[in-house]
Amino acid sequence: MSSLRATFTLSFAAVAAAVTVLVGFLSYDAAARLVRVDQQTVFAGVVQDLQVEVREQVLEPGDFAQSDPGHAGALDKIVRPSRTDVQVLGPGGAVVDRGHPALPVAAVDRQAADASAAGTLAEHKEVEVGGNWYRVATVALGGGRGAVQVAQEFSDTEDLLNELQQRTVLLVAAVVIASGLFGWWLARRITRRLVRLAGAAEDVARTGRLGIQVPVAGYDEVARLGRSFDRMLGRLAQSEEDQRRLVQDAGHELRTPLTSLRTNISMLRRIDELPPAAREELVADLALESRELTDLVNELVALAAGRSDTEPVRRVDLGELAEDVAVVARRRSGRDIVVRVSGDVEVDGRPTALQRAVSNLVENAVKFDRGGEAVIEVVVAGGLAGAGGVRVEVLDRGPGIGEGDLERVFDRFYRAADARSLPGSGLGLSIVREVAAGHGGVPFAYRRDGGGVVIGFTVGGEDGEGAGGGG
């Protein structure tokens, strides 16, 4: 989790640094370009105005002399708007009026001073004078009368831009450091709950205890993850508890038939000493115990699979499924079993599991209705509670179920006192409950008027109405 926090911090700082550097660079570049272009434009305008003036008038070097304080002519037009330095050259390039500072006179400047055409231009883009840098232009007066040198200092502007650049770099560095600290604080705040959640997961992995309290706060994605993890741990804990109870109950229930089998097997050693009737009883008892053990193991496997059944869900017609179960039950038991269907009884479910549940209900009715004369009814009704659910119930005329047993008939291995002498594992109705829960329904059982019992379950659309007892 520390690496995640570091990743958040570095990512936030990197993005902030990239944005700051980009904005700083673009701002500095725009400002520097604007200042430089503005200075060059002003200087070019001064030179152009000077060229126009010397072409329109016949001017002498003395007209630009700075030593004449009362002269407000051509010199003022150059110096005042542009703050430029002016130096006047006479014929042959001789300095008539020195500038401040004095400007160097090169060969091209002398040629301009001797030029016959007024406005002839000689330019120097970079000239060092007294440690400062200037751009210099020499404009000929024409007729070999001399020339005027105009200079503009730009080194002070570059110094200003360099200072601006340094300040921009310092600002960028400060923003990067601040964004790094803020990113670290934000990453710590964001990952704090993830750290606690990871700690809870590590505790579960280390100790194997599923009852660890998972810290959950807020409503964002981290909170949703925490709640989902907490629910997952709860389900795992419940599954572990169900598995433990199943193993304990299974061990208890398996102990009786295994003990009986061991006793009968030990009797086989003296089978020759037993009378024929005792031999037949022993063999029949062995066959019964082995069959009971087989049924118990099969139902344990079916119950252990429970809701983890991987059978795909598809559309199932519970009316047809109940009729198929009834056909098999008639053939096995010879009993009269009637199926009644009403409404839309198609649901989305797992066919094998649903068939197992209905079969367990019918087998339960056959087993307890020992008279063999009454009709066993299988009722499948659709449109449960107006929500598209289906109700499946099996009605018999057996001895019924005591009031104290109605609430427990769906518990694993539970068998009423008057049913303990009958074959069975006590798991059939538990499987019915698991199947109903896996299909969004509930099981139900109630006593039937005139004797017998009604046991069934609902599939989907259940709001509690379907589990009520009837008369």
Q: What single letter denotes the amino acid at residue 328?
A: V
Return the number of other C-beta atoms located less than 10 Å from residue 422's C-beta: 11
Q: Could you tell me the two tokens for 276?
A: 């024929």
CA dist 276 and 267 (Å) reads: 14
Q: Could you tell me the two tokens for 81?
A: 């708007």
CA dist 227 and 124 (Å) reads: 77
**Nearest Cα to Cα of residue 168 among 31, 12, 39:** 31
Residue burial 246-264, b: 16+ Cβ < 10 Å; e: rest: beebbeebeeebeebbeeb
Q: Could you tell me the two tokens for 118?
A: 């007024």
CA torsion 181-183-184-190 (nearest 10°) is 150
Task: For residue 89, give Cα distances in angstroms to 247, 431, 434.
Answer: 116, 117, 113
**Nearest Cα to Cα of residue 84 among 161, 154, 142, 159:** 154
Q: How far does the chain reach from its first CA to its final CA, in angstroms?
A: 63
Strand ranges inside 141-238, DSSP E: 147-153
Under 8 Å between Cβ of 424 and 415: yes
CA atoms within 13 A on the CB side of 84: 29
Q: Could you tell me the two tokens for 126?
A: 């970079």
Q: Could you tell me the two tokens for 16?
A: 């902030």
Q: Given this model, what pLDDT does residue 57 score?
A: 83
Strand order in the sheet with 376-384: 337-342, 376-384, 389-395, 453-459, 443-447
Q: Given this model, what pLDDT does residue 318 score?
A: 92
Under 8 Å between Cβ of 366 and 335: yes
Q: Could you tell me the two tokens for 128?
A: 């060092």
Q: Given this model, what pLDDT does residue 215 score?
A: 66
Answer whether the bond into residue 69 is a cis peptide, omega within 30°.
no
CA dist 79 and 159 (Å) reads: 23
Q: Given this model, what pLDDT does residue 373 score?
A: 72
- Backbone torsions φ then ψ of 66, nearest 5 degrees: -80, -15
- Judging by beta carbons within 10 Å of its beta carbon (0-12, 13-18, 19+), is residue 379 exposed, middle or buried? middle
- Backbone torsions φ then ψ of 150, nearest 5 degrees: -115, 130
CA dist 305 and 361 (Å) reads: 19
pTM of the complete model: 0.45
DSSP state letters, 273-341: GS-HHHHHHHHHHHHHHHHHHHHHHHHHHHHHHGGG--PPPEEEEHHHHHHHHHHHHHHHH---EEEEE
DSSP state letters, 410-461: TSTT---GGGTTSS--S-HHHHHHHHHHHTT--EEEEEPTTS-EEEEEEESS
Handedness of CA 67, 70, 73, 76 (dihedral sign): positive
Q: Could you tell me the two tokens for 208?
A: 């194997």
Return the number of other C-beta atoms located less than 10 Å from residue 107's C-beta: 9
Element (H, E) at 246: helix 221-268
- Backbone torsions φ then ψ of 76, nearest 5 degrees: -65, -35
Mean pLDDT per 10-residue interval, the chain, length 471 residues = 68 80 81 76 82 83 64 54 75 84 86 86 82 86 88 74 80 81 78 73 74 68 75 77 69 67 78 79 76 69 58 88 89 85 90 86 80 83 70 85 69 54 59 85 86 88 46 37
C-alpha angle 424-339-397 in degrees, rounded to nearest 5:
50
Q: Could you tell me the two tokens for 220?
A: 């964002």
CA dist 212 and 350 (Å) reads: 35
Return the number of other C-beta atoms located less than 10 Å from residue 87's C-beta: 25
Coil vs helix vs strand at 183: helix
**Nearest Cα to Cα of residue 386 among 300, 466, 270:** 466
Q: Given this model, what pLDDT does residue 378 score?
A: 94
What DSSP character marks residue 212?
Answer: P
